[in-house]
Amino acid sequence: MASATVTARDLIATLSEARQTTLGLIADLADEQLIGPKLAIVNPLLWEIGHVAWFQEHWALRHLRGLTPDLVKGDALYNSSKVAHAARWDLPLPARKETLDYMRRVLERVVGLLESQRGRELSRDEVYFHRLALFHEDMHGEAIAYTRQTLGYPAPRLRHSHGVTSSADGGGRLAGEVEIPGGVFGLGATPDQAFVFDNEKWRHAVTVAPFAMARAAVSNAEFAAFVDDRGYERREVWSDAGWAWRERAEAGHPVYWYLGAGRRWFQRVYNAVVPLAEDLPVMHVNWYEADAYCRWAKRRLPSEAEWELAAAAEPAPDGHGISHAERRFPWGAAAPDARTANLDGAAGGLVDTGALAAGDSAFGVRQMAGNVWEWTADDFAPYPGFVADPYEDYSQPWFHTHKVLRGGCWFTRSRLIRNTWRNFYTPDRRDVWCGFRTARSL
């Protein structure tokens, strides 16, 4: 993996900014809120922020440098591979001040070591493990943000938020689909990319049949039509596993929806109940709900290969099939910005499904980066020749039990985004920032 363009100064700046974001996400919460109720889908936030610091110390100081741990009992408290989820509320966690002090000390040690490396090229391992800690913290920041939603806490005070929640360049709802030619496509990442996770390795040829994909994610209005048509009561549109989940959960609509006077839908957004915004993408629906909607609409979820092809490939110059050019982002090679993708929490929430036309893929598919994570049809599985990276528990334990999601959400950090990035959740998860778009075979 290339490291020549990444300097100690770059890493210090991004690691410091990530830590400021993490601290900002919990700064307004009371000590009791940092513990919160014991739920299977969240962590106690006091544990989570300590875990972020422990992970950085483990990989960037202890593994990379061979240094001794700052916190003697840190492994017993914060090693997520060893500490059972349900036990995290019962641990003798350091209090808030001590946890914040630990976070500060770890970052200061990391920055001090990086400062000492100024003036020389960083090694591949140095870049890799500092970035591993950075991206891990970014992902936990997103988890903290959706935990606040799950628990009904106030919206986080995002430093970059403009307070925009339902309008951006364009706006409104985007309808229609595009037909995408099939062909042989290279699925996955290539070794010349500066950093990828093990589950993206390596690019391999897959054959994709021609298909059609919706230009936009399914909107609230479209999903409400499914709900209003008794979609949750129609056994024929649910898979066996989906129906079993629906009965256990007693689900009749998305998790944060409420039916008000005049049969008008409302939605809880953090600690506020607001009218359902029809042109925003539906969010907080799980894989089973997305699959049932697709069956009701006589469509289906796109496969993972179809999704990446629609995002990364280009039409062949002669108009037949696809070219071998594979884009890093749906719109091309340029890094994401406010015109192309809703990322980094910059809009303060979702934008309409018709917004951000500048971010369209070569085939005219919109918002394939940011806004909402998108469920795909596929189980999360290793690519051919998979070898786990040093952080062995990032992917390997979750193969064949999770579903693949693509694209990122409104809170995902733009430095994480690329067309090859694979996210994964169990199909029952509806607390995360997940939506979907539909496809059909040609």
**Neighbour tally for 382: CB within 10 Å:** 15
pLDDT digits (tens, 9 = 90+) for 87-113: 999 999 999 999 999 999 999 999 999
| Residue 164: per-residue pLDDT | 37
Q: Tell me the C-alpha distance between 81 and 394, whole Å.
A: 10
How confident is the model over 59-65, as a mean pLDDT? 97
Structure confidence by residue, pLDDT tens digits, 383-393: 999 999 999 99
Average pLDDT over residues 247-272: 96
Average pLDDT over residues 177-202: 96
Cα angle 181-414-311, degrees, rounded to a multiple of 5: 0
What local confidence, expressed as pLDDT, does residue 160 receive? 53
The candidate with the shortest Cα–Cα distance to 417, out of 138, 151, 153, is: 138
Q: Which domains does the chain have, with CATH numbers?
A: 8-150 (1.20.120.450), 161-250+280-442 (3.90.1580.10)
Stretch 38-62: mean pLDDT: 97
Q: Do strands 211-214 and 439-441 pair parallel, antiparallel, or not at all (unpaired)? A: antiparallel
> What mean pLDDT is predicted for residues 391-401?
98
Question: What pLDDT shows up at residue 171?
Answer: 83
* % pLDDT > 90, the chain: 91
Look at residue 157 and tell me whether its pLDDT is greater than 90. no
Q: Contact 368/429 with Cβ under 8 angstroms?
A: no
Strands 434-435, 373-379: pairing is parallel
Q: What is the pLDDT of residue 165?
A: 42
Residue that has been written with the tokens 């630990």 in this structure: 102
Residue 406 has pLDDT above 90, yes or no: yes
DSSP 392: T
On the question of pLDDT at 152 being above 60, the answer is yes
Q: Backbone phi, then psi, for 302, in 5-degree steps?
A: -70, 150
pLDDT-derived band at 166, boundaries 50, 70, 90? very low
| Average confidence score pLDDT of the chain | 95
| pLDDT tens digits, 367-378 | 999 999 999 999
pLDDT band at 169 (very low <50, low <70, confident <90, very high): low
pLDDT tens digits for range 193-244: 989 999 999 999 999 999 999 999 999 999 999 999 999 999 999 999 999 9
Q: How far apart are CA 157 and CA 375, in angstroms?
A: 28
Q: pLDDT digit string (tens) for 304-320?
A: 999 999 999 999 998 88
pLDDT tens-place string over residues 412-437: 999 999 999 999 999 999 999 999 99
Residue 254: is its pLDDT beyond 70?
yes
The pLDDT score that the predictor gives to residue 216 is 98
Name the residue type at position 358: A
323-357 pLDDT, tens digit per residue, is 988 999 999 999 999 999 999 999 999 999 999 99
Listed in sequence order, the DSSP H helices in 1-44 are 8-26, 31-35
**Is residue 170 predicted with pLDDT exceeding 80?**
no
Question: What does each C-alpha distance from 288 to 42, 239, 298, 338, 353 come to in angstroms?
Answer: 20, 8, 15, 32, 22
Distance CA 171, CA 400 (A): 37
* Residue 144 reports pLDDT greater than 80: yes
The whole-number pLDDT of residue 159 equals: 64
- What confidence category does residue 1 fall into, taking pLDDT thresholds of 50, 70 and 90? very low
pLDDT tier at 158 (50, 70, 90 boundaries)? confident
Strand partners, 183: 208
- What pLDDT is stored for residue 350 in this prediction? 96
Distances (CA, A) of 18 to 65, 147, 164, 195: 22, 18, 22, 17
Return the percentage of the chain with pLDDT > 70, whole number.
Answer: 96
Residues contacting 303, CB < 8 A, separation 6+:
208, 376, 377, 378, 439
| CA atoms in the 13 A half-sphere facing the CB of 295 | 18
DSSP codes of every residue in 139-205? HHHHHHHHHHHHTTPPPP--TT----SS-SSS-S----EEEE--EEEEES--TTSS---GGG---EE
